[in-house]
Structure 1
Amino acid sequence: MFRFDDLKYLKVDLPEDILKLKFNGNFERAVKLIDFRLEKQIPKAMRVRLELEKEIITTIKGEYTYSFEQAFKKMQDNIKDFTEEELIKLQEEGHADWILVDGNVKFNDSFYDSLVKTRTDLEARLINKQETTHERQFIDDNVKDMKENGGASYFIHLTTSVKVKKEAERIGEKIKVHMPLPIDCQQSNIKIVKTTPEANFIAPEDYPQRTAYFETVLTEDQEFSVEYTYENHLKYYNPDSSAVASSQPVFCTEELEPHIMFTPYIKELAQEIIVDETNPLIKARKIYDYITQNVKYSYMRAYSTIINIPEYAALNLKGDCGVQSLLFITLCRCVGIPAKWQSGLAVTPYKIGPHDWAQFYIEPFGWLYCDPSFGGGALRNRNIEKWNFYFGNLDPFRMIANSEFQHEFNPPKKYWRHDPYDNQVGECEYEDRSIRREEYTVSYQLTDIHKI
């Protein structure tokens, strides 16, 4: 059974012999050694850490499926005149995520999509080019609109659905499903139009990781869906550093094990970024600039497989939206600036998908927004106006389901969560085990989005 509070034990180091096997990709022998140690009398902290590691190994094995030859073929089939030397260089430079499995290189399932999204040189060589201009223009226009009109408000009508894949269906058995719902924040007038089947429980609007909970007997091809409407109201902020109050609050400045931790490297990095700056708004901007200028956007493996997410970003200088946001939050807290998490979906007429970002608090302005990945993307595209916008501001094209990182569901999930820290796509489980992320599909249907 998954005990949510046990996540703190991820900060405990693995024994050296297990660590060697893990990094060589010898997962079978690593699990054997873990089981051998679990049979002995060992401290609780080590016992829980080893139990968690077994879950991590199970997850990570399913995320790296491309051999070098398969990865090369994938690139050759989609990128004009792609060479083997290019793939080796992308691997060596850390652009293509890989691990060793039994001594052989295996690339992450998302390596191709990540490369195409983040490397304009590869995108330009696509054999079948993807059209992203309309979505980018839609968001760019909103930046100008919010600056000119002092904000923006949108109505959104959305349905999200979850369906267990055929190979994982256990028809006639009890299934439990947790699906994210909009929370009360910058969103308001939230209405649950319909749940299919009827949800057993819907968490309160102010619950930090809000869900609709289903518990039923699974039928063939059954789909679980939540349909809802809400309004997003956002002001435009252009905070003046000279107006910052001399006294600042200290809430949301603490550590949160095992990720938001002030490790020696995080402390050194924070100090190097802010130097002798004392104004909290300028300090936050320095942190934002460092991340957007130095941390490459990259799709990630499951967060549950990363032992310290902010430090991963700081050490490897790469990460997706959530990884970059957690680094921003951790560095802000490390220098005394209140910062916290928000996440859910990015929703436009052109695309819907999971997204994470951050908030930080500066008196007298209150809670401001920070989206390092959108800001970093704008900087890569030389859109300085948009880069500046995402420090302090957020677009209204979001569905916010989570206001806290690493928070339990209501009601709790019994087994290991695919993502113990966040919830954007939902979680499922049978009576005897969790349903893994690769065993179910998630889909979205946008009925309406219009400016209010």
Structure 2
Amino acid sequence: MKQLVYLAALLFFIGCAPKPKVTMNAWEQERMNRIKQDFCISESQVKEYIRKYIPDVTDAQMRQWEKSNALECMVIDGERRYFRNAGPNLFRIDSAAYCVKVATEGVQLSKSEKVNKEHLPKVIDAVKQTGEYRVMPKRMRVTYTLTVEPNAVPDGNIIRCWLPYPRTDERRQQQVKLLKTSEAKYLLAPSSCKHSTLYMEQKAIRNEPTVFSESFEYTSYAEWHHLKSADILPYDTTSTLYKEYTSERAPHIRFSPRIKQLSSRLTQGETNPLLKAQRIFAWINRYFPWASAREYSTIENIPEYVLDNRHGDCGQVSLLFITLCRCSGIPAHFQSGFMMHPGEWNLHDWAEIYFQGIGWVPVDQSFGIPTFAENMDQRMFFLGGIDSWRMIVNDDYSMPLVPAKKFPRSETVDFQRGEVEWEGGNLYFNKWKYNMEIEYLN
């Protein structure tokens, strides 16, 4: 019965969908427009931020930081333009600048780190006491809203909207319940889709915002595996799973000469998959600090971008980790959605890797080795473990949406904030905003 309802809804919405109208030249122009929005501040604006910590910053210092890629900029239309978060990123990426900022403000844990400082030891203890891998369930009620700005679409035209929805096929995410939608007609993507979406349509009304919303509940579990190298069995390299998740996948999982050399160097002399993965995880954690990222859709190959620029956000370092694991013969795939920590929810990406005899285990590369860790279990928690505060939306990257999107996505890699289009084209992020309200029920 559910399949019939899904097919009927899909046929209805497909019948309303516009036809593709995009060409390669149009996409290149769109990509350039997106880059201009990311690289939108001047040198004087960047210097103004830097002077808060380095009052006598010089042009020579600026050029040196640019050369090292610690200060991200590019020349656009003959003018040097800087990434919108280039100033804050400098003090995350450049070690000397980082020390200057720490000397001024000290080292402070983020809100999510403060939550996890208390949470992770409890997860580890619960797993050891119960023998269960999934523990400490958190029930959450969420209202997610996407608001298209007035007159972004001409009056009377249909706006198509895809909202993120918690996956119903994940072992760490259970009892998903849809409570309310802004539109009576909607379409939930089947669990076979790698991006979990709730699709709706509305007509634009002149001078009024168009608001799409959904409310739902779900339960999220922490997971932790007390991994030991002796427990890892040899892979069945003939299996479909092994072949699929150790293969290349353009454009972002590619075994370039640099990736192959790096993979070989990091895992040299080691045959155990767990110890290989730990080496990769620790190396990325040490040398690639988190920094705010430019839009993924403007980057040709994300792992190579991370290596070139010596930094990355959660999805970028996760894709580097996945690529190095696959190149080293360790099955790996992308996973993403939201971190739902009280006081600090946000978009977030991580990975899963597969060990023969154990199965898939989570890896959060950007959470990495916590600075607050007090023992080895806590230090390596996020290789084989994940906290309770998550909402899983995606089980891969750059996969089709349901119903199909007719114009290039705003985010061509991940799917989190949502996607919006009309018959005139895609609506980029600057044409709408999103918000999430979370009620913690336990």
TM-score by length of 1: 0.82
Per-residue deviation, 1:117: 6.2
Distance 1:87 1:257 in 2: 35
Name which of 113, 117, 120 aligns with 1:143.
Answer: 120
Alignment of 1:385-404 (within 5 A): 385=376, 386-404=378-396
Match of 1:154 among 128, 134, 138: 138
CA contact (8 A) 1:239 1:365 kept: no
User: Cα RMSD (Å) of the superposition?
Assistant: 2.5
Q: Structure 1 residues 123, 215: CA separation in 2 closer, same or farther (over 3 Å shift)? A: farther
Match of 2:33 in 1: 58
| Residues in 1 aligned to 2:375 and 2:50: alpha-carbon distance in whole angstroms | 32
Structure 1 residue 112 displacement after superposition: 3.7
Instruction: Quote the offset at 1:383 in angstroms.
Output: 6.4
1:272 maps to which of 265, 272, 279? 265
Asked whether the equivalents of residues 406 and 422 of structure 1 are also in contact (C-alpha less than 8 Å), the reply is yes
Q: How many angstroms apart in 1 are the aligned matches of 2:108 and 2:336? A: 26
Answer whether contact 1:357 1:372 (CA < 8 A) is retained: yes
**422, 427, 430: which one pairs with 1:435?**
427
- Which residue of structure 1 lines up, in the alignment, with residue 74 of structure 2? 99
Partner of 1:30: none
String of CA shifts for 1:319-371, please: whole Å, max 9, x gaps. Answer: 11101000111111111111001100111111111000000000111111111
Question: Take 1:103 and 1:221, find their aligned partners in 2: how far apart are those partners?
Answer: 37
Q: 1:449 to 1:342 in 2, by over 3 A?
A: farther
- 1:300-315 correspondence runs (5 A): 300-315=293-308
Gaps of 5+ in 1: 1-46
How far, CA to CA, are the matches of 2:417 and 2:107 in structure 1? 24
| 1:87-123 Cα deviation digits (max 9, x unpaired) | 5554343223211113332111122444566646426
Q: Deviations over 1:242-286 (max 9, x none)?
A: 121123451411111111111111111100110121111111111
CA distance 1:203–1:120, change in 2 (3 Å): farther
Contact 1:349/1:449 (<8 A) preserved: no
What secondary structure sits across from 1:300 in the alignment?
Answer: coil
Opposite residue 143 of structure 2, the aligned amino acid is: T
Counterpart amino acid of 1:144?
P
Amino acid at match of 1:431: E
After superposition, where does 1:132-281 map in structure 2 within 5 Å?
134-150=111-127, 151-166=135-150, 168=152, 170-183=154-167, 184-185=169-170, 186-219=172-205, 220-249=208-237, 250=242, 251-281=244-274
Does 2:401 align with 1:413?
Answer: no
Looking at structure 1, the residues matched to 50 and 204 of structure 2 have their Cα atoms a distance apart, in angstroms, of 39
Offset of residue 442 of structure 1: 1.2
State the distance in 2 between where 1:424 and 1:356 align: 10
Give the 3 Å change call, closer, same or farther, for CA 89–445 of structure 1 in structure 2. farther
After superposition, what is the alpha-carbon deviation per residue over 1:413-442, rounded to whole angstroms, capped at 9, x for unaligned?
A: 111111112101001112111101111111
Q: Counterparts of 1:170 and 1:59 in 2: how far apart (Å)? A: 22
1:313 and 1:319 in contact (8 A); partners too: yes
* C-alpha separation in 2, matches of 1:170 and 1:281: 55
Q: Counterpart in 1 of 2:5?
A: none
- State the partner residue of 2:280: 287
Distance 2:112 2:380 in 1: 19
1:124 CA drift (Å): 5.7
Residue 312 of structure 1 deviates from its aligned partner by: 1.5
CA contact (8 A) 1:182 1:399 kept: yes
Query: Partners in 1 of 2:178 and 2:137 — Cα distance?
Result: 19
Q: 1:247 to 1:64 in 2, by over 3 A?
A: closer
CA 223–334 in structure 1, closer or farther in 2 if over 3 Å, else same: same
Name which of 39, 47, 72 aligns with 2:47: 72
Tell me which moved more, 402-411 or 158-167.
Answer: 158-167
Q: 1:299 to 1:199 in 2, by over 3 A?
A: farther
SS at match of 1:94: coil
Q: How many angstroms apart in 1 are the aligned matches of 2:389 and 2:166? A: 13
Q: Which moved more, 1:261-270 or 1:108-117?
A: 108-117
Distance between the aligned counterparts of 2:38 and 2:85, measured in 1? 8
* TM-score w.r.t. length of structure 2: 0.83
Distance 2:395 2:40 in 1: 33
| Residue range with higher mean Cα deviation, 106-115 or 263-272 | 106-115
Deviates more, 1:364-373 or 1:169-178: 169-178
Separation of aligned partners in 2, 1:294 and 1:132: 20
Q: Which amino acid aligns with 2:339?
A: A
Residue 160 of structure 2 aligns with an amino acid whose one-letter code is K
**1:117–1:123 Cα contact (<8 Å) kept:** no
Once the two structures are TM-superposed, the CA of residue 317 in structure 1 deviates from its matched residue by 2.3
Q: Quick one: structure 1 residues 329 and 449, their matched pair in 2 at CA, closer, same or farther if it must change by over 3 Å?
A: farther
Q: What's the secondary structure of 1:65's corresponding residue?
A: coil
The alignment-based identity, stated in percent, is 28
5+ long unaligned stretches in structure 2? 1-21, 128-134
